[in-house]
Amino acid sequence: MNEWKKFAMTWATSTLVGFYSVFVLMQLWNWFAVPLLHVPEASYWLIYGLSMLFGLLTGAGEQENPAHERRWNALFIILNACVPEQKMEDVKEEVRPEARAYGQMSV
């Protein structure tokens, strides 16, 4: 199978799964939240829009991207070259708590 067909199949599958996920969220909202919270039913497109909004705000769907990782690695190499030797340990000590808070490797 050539690259174009693989791409098309992957895109079609992910699109269908995304649309089905929105359908499931709409059904859950209309089944559960409407009677419990006494709110109006939600349309498919409203749930679709909310799903996109929450995805953008939370970064859902962001996976490990090798190109993204390479850019960050290049940035850190450049930053390391900019920090004077006598300040390197001070910088590492200040960055270490931030790295731990975000689950990054130790600096």
- Please give the pLDDT value at position 26: 96
Domain count for the chain: 2
Instruction: Determine what percent of the chain is predicted with pLDDT higher than 90.
Output: 36
Q: What's the rounded Cα separation, in Å, for the pair 98 and 104? A: 8
Do 9 and 50 belong to one domain?
A: yes
Query: Which residue in this structure is represented by tokens 């649309």?
Result: 19
Read off the pLDDT of residues 50-97 as tens digits, 9 standing for 90 and up: 998 988 887 766 667 777 778 778 888 887 888 888 888 888 888 888
In a domain, 106, yes or no: no
Read off the pLDDT of residues 11-46 as tens digits, 9 standing for 90 and up: 999 899 999 999 999 999 999 999 999 999 999 999
Q: What's the rounded Cα separation, in Å, for the pair 71 and 98? A: 20
Q: What 8-state DSSP symbol labels residue 31?
A: I
Total residue count of the chain as it appears in this document: 107
Nearest CA among 58, 76, 55, 74 for reference residue 66: 74
- Please give the pLDDT value at position 6: 87
In a domain, 107, yes or no: no
Cβ atoms of 101 and 95 within 8 Å: the answer is no
Do 54 and 74 belong to one domain?
A: no
